[in-house]
């Protein structure tokens, strides 16, 4: 250590300046990622899907299937997942738009508007302004705007799918990645171990999310059927998909059935739907699931929520969907592959390594 400026031995810059330069470089990297979000996020989505489904290829090769055929099966499986997700979201969007803009709920919409007006007047909100605002409310125009918003979302998903479908062809080169990693392992073993750790953690995360997503979807669907909400199965599928968005995904899946409950049964039914969704999702997604996710991927619940905000700001909706994989990749590249930064892993997982515990115990005794 240089005693004159507090910098590590072998460096000419003060430690404080090194920190500032590192922060500046980090800001430039984050800004660049944000600018290129339309390209990076779909590419990473394709990579994650291939990573999660790649065991299919290995399983087929072990049973004697040719490499090219196993790679083709992996490609078809990845393509099938993408198509299923996009069609499910599109199905939910069009069904909601069709119900809200159709004639079936015209009387219910008018009745709901009258109930809201009466409720406001009962609590003391009266006068000409209220009558004018409620009387001029065009529920069909609001529904049209809702349908237009969903159509725009579908257009965005379609554009992204063109890029993602092209990138899925990377599955055909997956065997080449394995050979390359085997070579790099002889030169930089820590980097390969970090990348394999990222792959294993990503698979574990999506496995846990899928299991709990199915549980949540079944419970939500049964509750909606009991309440008599139209298209309960559609909203159950939507609840399953949005479960992959940490912490706030259930809010997105709640909006369509809550709106239908308001239109078909009034604000009381909507309140019951919100209560049931909130209880189920808070207990399962906010209390039980984070414990399993933390154990499987090594991230604290606080960091998981922070990653949702951070990656969502950089990459938009896909960043929110892939917040945990993005964080796992950053952890692999910045911490796991460098032995000198292993101390930071304890801050991320909020766990002390076993060897540290044993060493502490020995020193105490």
**How does pLDDT run across 79-129, given as a tens digit for each residue?**
888 778 878 877 777 777 776 666 555 555 556 666 666 665 665 555 455
Q: How far apart, in whole angstroms, are the C-alpha atoms of residue 348 and residue 346?
A: 5
**Tens digits of residue pLDDT in 257-308:** 888 888 777 788 889 999 988 888 778 876 777 677 666 677 777 788 888 8
| Helix (H), strand (E), coil (C) string for 180-193 | HHHHHHHHCHHHHH
User: Of the ranges 42-51, 122-131, 299-308, 334-343, which is most confident?
Assistant: 42-51
End-to-end CA distance of the chain: 32
C-alpha to C-alpha distance for 217 and 26, rounded to whole angstroms:
39
pLDDT band at 350 (very low <50, low <70, confident <90, very high): low
Q: Tell me the H-state helices in 228-335.
A: 232-242, 249-281, 289-297, 301-315, 317-321, 323-331
Please state whether the predicted TM-score (pTM) of the whole model is above 0.95: no
For 281, phi then psi, to 5°, come to -75, -35
DSSP 339: G
Per-residue model confidence (pLDDT) at position 134: 47
Buried b / exposed e across 53-89, counting CB within 10 Å, b at 16+? bbebbeebbeeeeeeeebbbbbbebbbeebeebbeeb
d(CA 347, CA 72): 41
193-248 per-position pLDDT tens digit: 888 889 888 998 888 889 888 998 999 999 999 988 888 888 888 888 888 887 67
**Which range, 63-77, 110-124, 165-179, is most confident?**
63-77
Show me where the domains of the chain are located: 37-345
Alpha carbon distance 22, 341 (integer Å): 15
Q: Which of 307, 314, 316 is nearest to 247 (CA)?
A: 307
C-beta separation of 178 from 196 below 8 A: no
Helix (H, G, I), strand (E, B) or coil at 137: coil
Run of H or E including 22: helix 15-35
∠ Cα 364 294 45 (to 5°)? 140
CA distances from 112 to 115, 260, 261 (A): 5, 11, 11
């Amino acid at each position: 250590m240089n005693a004159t400026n507090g910098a590590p031995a072998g460096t000419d810059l003060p430690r404080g300046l090194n920190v500032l330069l590192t922060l500046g470089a980090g800001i430039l990297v984050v800004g660049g990622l944000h600018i290129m979000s339309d390209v990076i996020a779909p590419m990473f989505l394709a990579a994650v899907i291939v990573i999660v489904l790649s065991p299919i290829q290995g399983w087929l090769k072990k049973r004697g299937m040719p490499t090219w055929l196993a790679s083709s099966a992996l490609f078809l499986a990845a393509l099938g997942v993408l198509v299923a997700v996009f069609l499910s979201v599109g199905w939910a969007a069009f069904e909601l738009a069709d119900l809200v803009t159709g004639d079936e709920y015209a009387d219910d919409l008018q009745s709901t508007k009258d109930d809201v007006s009466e409720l406001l007047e009962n609590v003391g909100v009266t006068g000409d302004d209220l009558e004018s605002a409620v009387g001029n409310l065009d529920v069909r125009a609001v529904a049209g705007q809702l349908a237009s918003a969903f159509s725009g979302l579908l257009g965005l998903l379609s554009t992204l799918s063109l890029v993602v479908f092209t990138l899925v062809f990377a599955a055909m080169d997956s065997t080449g990645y394995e050979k390359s990693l085997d070579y790099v392992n002889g030169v930089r073993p820590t980097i390969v171990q970090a990348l394999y750790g990222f792959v294993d953690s990503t698979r574990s995360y999506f496995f846990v999310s899928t299991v709990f997503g199915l549980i949540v979807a079944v419970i939500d669907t049964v509750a909606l059927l009991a309440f008599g909400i139209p298209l309960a199965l559609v909203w159950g599928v939507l609840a399953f998909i949005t479960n992959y968005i940490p912490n706030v995904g259930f809010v997105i899946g709640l909006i369509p059935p809550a709106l239908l409950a308001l239109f078909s049964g009034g604000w009381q039914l909507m309140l019951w739907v919100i209560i049931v969704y909130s209880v189920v999702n808070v207990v399962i997604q906010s209390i039980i699931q984070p414990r399993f996710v933390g154990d499987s991927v090594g991230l604290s619940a606080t960091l998981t929520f922070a990653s949702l905000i951070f990656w969502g700001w950089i990459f938009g909706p896909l960043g929110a969907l892939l917040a945990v994989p993005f964080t796992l990749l950053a952890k692999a590249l910045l911490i796991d592959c460098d032995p000198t930064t292993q101390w930071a892993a304890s801050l991320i997982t909020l766990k002390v390594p076993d060897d540290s515990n044993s060493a502490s115990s020995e020193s105490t005794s």
